Amino acid sequence: MSAEAARFRFVSANRRVREDRRFVAGHGRYVADIALEGMLHVAILGAQHPAARILSIDPSAALAMPGVHYVLTGEELAGATDQLMNGLDTPNVRRFPLALGQTRYAGEWVAAVVADTRALAEDACEKVKVSYERLPYLTQAEEALDPSSPPVHPAHGSNVLLDKQFVWGEVDRHFAESPRQLSFRVTWGRNSTVPIETFGVVASWDPWSEMLDVWASIQMPKYPDQIARALRIPANNVRVHHDVDVGGSYGVKRGIKHTVLAAHLARRLGRPVRLLEDRLENMRGGDAHGPERIFDVDVAFDDAGIVRSMKMRALDNAGAYAGRAPFQLGKPIGAIVGPYKIESVAYRAQSVTTNKAVQEAVRGFGQSPTNYAIETALDKVGLACGLDRIEVRRRNFIRKEEFPYLIPSGTRYDSGDYHTVVDKVLAHVDYPALVAERDRLRAEGMLAGIGIAACLEPSGGNSAFEPLLNEKNETTTWMESVRINVDGTGCVAVTIHTTSSGQGHETLAATVVAEVLEIDPDLIRIVRPDSLACLPSNTPVGSRMAIMMGGACFHAAQKLKAKLLRIGAHRLGLAPEAARYQGGSVGAVSGGQALDWAALVNIAHRNFHLLPPDTEPGLESTHVMQVPTGTSLPKDGRVQMYPCHSFEFHLVLVALDPVLGKPEIRRYVIGHDCGTVINPHIVKGMTLGGIAHGLGAALLEEFVYDEEGQMLTQSFMDYLLPSSHEMPKVEIVHHCTPSPFTVFGQKGSGESGYLGAPAAISGALNDAVAEFGISFDKLPIRISAISDAVAAARVRSSEETTS
Amino acid sequence: MKVALLVNGAVREVDVEPRKTLLDTLREDLSLTGAHAGCEHGVCGACTVLVDGAPVRSCLMFAVQADGLDITTIEGLASAPGELSVLQDSFCETHGLQCGFCTPGMILASHALLEANPAPTRADIAEAISGNICRCTGYGQIVEAVELAAERLRLANAPRAAAGGRP
């Protein structure tokens, strides 16, 4: 990183993250910390049955309790609001915050009780009597494909939300011409990001100004628009406050249904209303689950292990409503061949409804499951050809000189140097020594395996998957904006137009503006105006903020610098090209007299007579940034998805006792290339946190439903998040291949680690148990699954020996 | 019920329902919102406070049980407004956090560790924070923060000569 450090003053420098101070002092401002005068509290009554007709709701006993103000039902809410937006063209899959007439999964919100305190509201929930008539239900995606399966939405006609076949290139010919083929199935279990803060919202309605004020723990593009639409009020009657710290999101904190419900109650009752999910509401009915996906993969390759073509069918269990689930099948199209030169691909994306909770966007938006399938394919091809698993990847990698590289599905990858990253990681770990260590462990009677994953993190987030999957959607921009204001005393304030959930956007914005203006970042104030004072933003989804907010900061600062230069040159009587900007001052290129920052600011704010002609007084600039690349609608099923592609290469050594089956990660190394790093602390944290999240997906985390359609893993006792005991010390090997499409060469890193860790850990376990002729094809791979499979394999082999 | 809590060195009297948790009492009655509700069933540790110096899950304890006990919350660690303790500053130095939601509990658990063990090993630190779930960081920079704080505290308390003649 020394070359970068030389190029930049603050970018890539090892500077502190400015947000940290308030958090370590306990002075974050989360939604649960916001208490308004006269605020009422909501508790939610969840459905008992996976599918049932609601025959009646009797709130009388609840309403008779002192301190209980209201019981809201789906019927009232649906009458007063429009259905929640659904990005697909499936008008009969209707969704409201509270179940309307029918419940579609166990835990679905049936009624909301409002009381003076949350505790009282919970007590009153127990007094609401709902009578149900149970209906047939289903939980399995493959069952949902059967036309005779019980329809989750009878008006829709089937359980299929999306079934789209793409063929990019000459798949049939390539398969016919390839000497070798293999097929397999892998399954990604239903897990999610599960932030430690649940979702919360406070809503307040002022009937005289007709203004809805909202504080929420959100990470949601177009949030005010969607609330306004559902509530049938103009969007400029909604004011979303962005000065709320969000206690983790990683994609899921969308909260439209929560907000519509709370806002309706605030309007109805004329009092501020707060809805804070408890953990049970969050896990069961918060509609924040992630992909649950079956992959059927065929690959065609040759004896040298070169993969020529791939057929992938991804069947996703969306749950009871569309949510963002179908689109999470669309985003991976932008990196459907991973880092490999696969010439042609057939991809079938199927999304079906079942009687399970609804999905929300999860870190990577479907990319991590897809990477797991692709990496499993590479492992299997290597095995089939008798090739080392790293060698087979090397042979298939896109080479450095081939970028920008157009993949069959229409995305042009920006840059990369995969071979070098792999070489650096192998040199760092001393790969032969790692193999020797694995073999030593095996000789001691342990099971030990090495796992490998090489994958991409598409970043820069546009929403090109929306028009790709829904022709009626013609969105081709996913902009982000920044405003810089220099006041009359010369102090700089930068506005950003979103909430943050730990990504360090204040540090990012200050660093970039300071870099361009050549001033001290610590002197820059970052402000988050409310939504009515905001420029367009699409929030930190799709690993986009280093690229998009960083880019907007860069361009806004360049505009400001250009204005300062014009002012200074004019005052000094210089032609603009004869003047130069340096460290906040403007002077002649040839040297001599210069005007410092204070003088330039003074002219802009007080001396109109000294300004160049046609110059607006004051000193501010704005920039609304379009996503680099990806500005066109899809054509022939192809589209340019995200602009940038970070690369990560995971190398893992896992050991376990064959009887106990508990995997222990002995070594974890990741090679990471996200281009120019803006803040090394932030990127490191994202990467380590992503690996922990991926470790959870690989070994621990799953929302499990039983045959009765009830969710079993409703608490942190059952849904296990990795603790400091499970997480190994991770070694990061850096590489920097700048992106040609961004202002500093930066790429995204918000999903790093998570995108490859599940594949790598799965690969390590499969290497560990290969001696028994078994493998795991479903995540998470729990301790019990490992010990049971090993025990069964040992029984089989002893029976074979004795018979 | 009336109870008297010794919170961050000051006696605070509150009148609470017997079923009210210490967490809700700190947050709602005493406006000490640094302790957070993450799971409310004693797993995540976001609500951690120190009771008589030991890390305790304030979501699993009633306020009435804390009558007369010495409670330290995150708000009680810094010496003055705008200041940070050595441990808090170390979390800033290594960026041992992201969203900040688990951070107060994580810091209090680490604070208790360093009070008892000025030279913890990596395993000691992992053990001490294993009851606090962080979803953002993967714990790496948290462990580094505690290691750094331990080193700084040892140096701060060491005689000049033993500190290695640092300037």
pLDDT digits (tens, 9 = 90+) for A160-217: 999 999 999 999 999 999 999 999 999 999 999 999 999 999 999 999 999 999 999 9
The mean predicted confidence, pLDDT, of chain A is: 97
Taking CB atoms and an 8 Å cutoff, what residues of chain B touch A693?
135, 138
Q: Among B73, B103, B138, select the one facing A23 at the smallest CB separation.
A: B103
Long-range contacts of A659-662 (CB under 8 A, 24+ apart): A659/A787, A659/A790, A659/A791, A660/A783, A660/A787, A661/A783, A661/A784, A661/A785, A661/A786, A661/A787, A661/A788, A661/A790, A662/A783, A662/A786
Average pLDDT in the A235-261 region? 97
Using alpha carbons, select from A409, A380, A414 the residue that is nearest to residue A396: A380
Q: Among A19, A25, A691, select the one facing B138 at the smallest CB separation.
A: A691
User: Check: CATH 3.30.365.10 for A2-27+479-625?
Assistant: yes
Q: How many domains does chain B have?
A: 2
Do B67 and B91 reside in the same domain of the chain?
no
Q: Which two tokens stand for residue A214?
A: 């909202």
Do B61 and B93 reside in the same domain of the chain?
no
Query: CB-based contact (8 Å) between A290 and chain B?
Result: no
Do B70 and B18 reside in the same domain of the chain?
yes
Q: Hey, are the CB atoms on A196 and B36 less than 8 Å from each other?
A: yes
Do B107 and B138 reside in the same domain of the chain?
yes
Q: Is the pLDDT of residue B165 over 60?
A: no
* CATH code assigned at B153: 1.10.150.120
pLDDT digits (tens, 9 = 90+) for A28-42: 999 999 999 999 999
Name which of B90, B139, B141, B147 to mutate to probe chain A: the one with the most chain A Cβ atoms within 10 A of its Cβ.
B139
- What is the percentage of chain A residues whose pLDDT exceeds 90? 96
Q: Among B78, B99, B143, select the one facing A248 at the smallest CB separation.
A: B99
Do B10 and B70 reside in the same domain of the chain?
yes
Number of H helices, E strands in chain A: 21, 29
Q: Which residue of A has its CA nearest to B102?
A: A196
Q: Is the pLDDT of residue A516 over 50?
A: yes
**What is the pLDDT, as a whole number, of residue A631?**
84
DSSP strands (E only) in A487-549:
492-495, 524-527
Domain around B51: 2-76
Q: Hey, are the CB atoms on B133 and A721 less than 8 Å from each other?
A: yes
**What is the pLDDT, as a whole number, of residue A554?**
98
Do B130 and B72 reside in the same domain of the chain?
no
Taking CB atoms and an 8 Å cutoff, what residues of chain B touch A195?
99, 101, 135
Q: Which residue of A has its CA nearest to B145?
A: A24
Q: Map out the domains of chain A as residue ranges.
A: 2-27+479-625, 34-135+197-247+254-285, 293-464+633-797
Average pLDDT in the A399-425 region? 98
In a domain, B51, yes or no: yes
CA distance A724 to chain B (A): 5
Residue where one domain finishes, among candidates B76, B95, B121 = B76
In a domain, B107, yes or no: yes
Q: Which amino acid type is present at position A111?
A: A
In a domain, B163, yes or no: no
pLDDT digits (tens, 9 = 90+) for A701-716: 999 999 999 999 999 9
pLDDT digits (tens, 9 = 90+) for A621-671: 999 999 998 789 999 999 999 999 999 999 999 999 999 999 999 999 999
Q: Is the pLDDT of residue A797 over 90?
A: no
In a domain, B71, yes or no: yes
Q: Is the pLDDT of residue B163 over 70?
A: no
* CATH code assigned at B38: 3.10.20.30
DSSP for A25-55? TT---BGGG---TT-EEEEEEEPSSSSEEEE
Do B12 and B69 reside in the same domain of the chain?
yes
> SS in 3 state form for A434-494?
HHHHHHHHHHCCCEEEEEEEEEEEEECCCCCHHHHHCCCCCCCCCCEEEEEEECCCCCEEE
pLDDT digits (tens, 9 = 90+) for B43-73: 999 999 999 999 999 999 999 999 999 999 9
Confidence of residue B159 (pLDDT cuts 50, 70, 90): confident
CA distance A245 to chain B (A): 8
pLDDT digits (tens, 9 = 90+) for A345-379: 999 999 999 999 999 999 999 999 999 999 999 99
**What is the pLDDT, as a whole number, of residue A803?**
63
Q: Hey, are the CB atoms on B101 and A692 less than 8 Å from each other?
A: no
Do B70 and B90 reside in the same domain of the chain?
no
DSSP strands (E only) in A503-640:
524-527, 579-582, 585-588, 594-595, 620-625
Confidence of residue B161 (pLDDT cuts 50, 70, 90): low
Q: Is the pLDDT of residue A763 over 80?
A: yes
Q: Hey, are the CB atoms on A16 and B92 less than 8 Å from each other?
A: yes
pLDDT digits (tens, 9 = 90+) for A282-324: 999 999 999 999 999 999 999 999 999 999 999 999 999 998 8
Do B10 and B44 reside in the same domain of the chain?
yes
CA distance B91 to chain A (A): 7
Do B133 and B96 reside in the same domain of the chain?
yes
Q: Among A196, A681, A715, select the one facing B135 at the smallest CB separation.
A: A196
Taking CB atoms and an 8 Å cutoff, what residues of chain A touch B79?
none
Average pLDDT in the B23-35 region? 98
Place of tokens 């789906």: A74
DSSP β-ladder status, A40-46 and A273-276 = parallel
Q: Is the pLDDT of residue A800 over 50?
A: yes
Query: CB-based contact (8 Å) between A246 and chain B?
Result: yes
Residue where one domain finishes, among candidates B10, B42, B76 = B76
CA distance B7 to chain A (A): 15
Do B104 and B66 reside in the same domain of the chain?
no
In words, the CATH class of domain A34-135+197-247+254-285 is: alpha beta
Q: Which residue of B has its CA nearest to A20?
A: B92
In a domain, B143, yes or no: yes
Residue where one domain finishes, among candidates B43, B76, B109 = B76
Do B94 and B153 reside in the same domain of the chain?
yes
DSSP for A101-133? SEE-STT-EEEEEEESSHHHHHHHHTT-EEEEE
Do domains A2-27+479-625 and A34-135+197-247+254-285 share one topology? The answer is no
Query: CB-based contact (8 Å) between A718 and chain B?
Result: no
Confidence of residue B162 (pLDDT cuts 50, 70, 90): low
Q: Is the pLDDT of residue B101 over 90?
A: yes
In a domain, B167, yes or no: no
Q: Which amino acid type is present at position A155?
A: A
Taking CB atoms and an 8 Å cutoff, what residues of chain A touch B20?
119
Average pLDDT in the A524-548 region? 96
Rg (CA), chain B: 17
ipTM for the complex shown: 0.97
Rg (CA), chain A: 28
CA distance A617 to A794: 81
pLDDT digits (tens, 9 = 90+) for B114-123: 999 999 999 9
In a domain, B105, yes or no: yes
**What is the pLDDT, as a whole number, of residue A741?**
97
Average pLDDT in the A440-459 region? 98
Name which of A724, A726, A727 to mutate to probe chain B: the one with the most chain B Cβ atoms within 10 A of its Cβ.
A724
Is the Cβ–Cβ distance between A789 and A776 less than 8 Å? yes
**What is the pLDDT, as a whole number, of residue A645?**
98
Is the Cβ–Cβ distance between A549 and A506 less than 8 Å? no
Give domain A293-464+633-797's CATH number out of 3.40.50.2000, 3.30.365.10, 3.30.70.1230, 3.30.2350.10: 3.30.365.10
Q: Hey, are the CB atoms on B99 and A245 less than 8 Å from each other?
A: yes
Name which of A20, A684, A721, A725 to mutate to probe chain B: the one with the most chain B Cβ atoms within 10 A of its Cβ.
A20
Q: Which residue of A has its CA nearest to B29?
A: A35
In a domain, B165, yes or no: no
Q: Hey, are the CB atoms on A689 and B136 less than 8 Å from each other?
A: yes
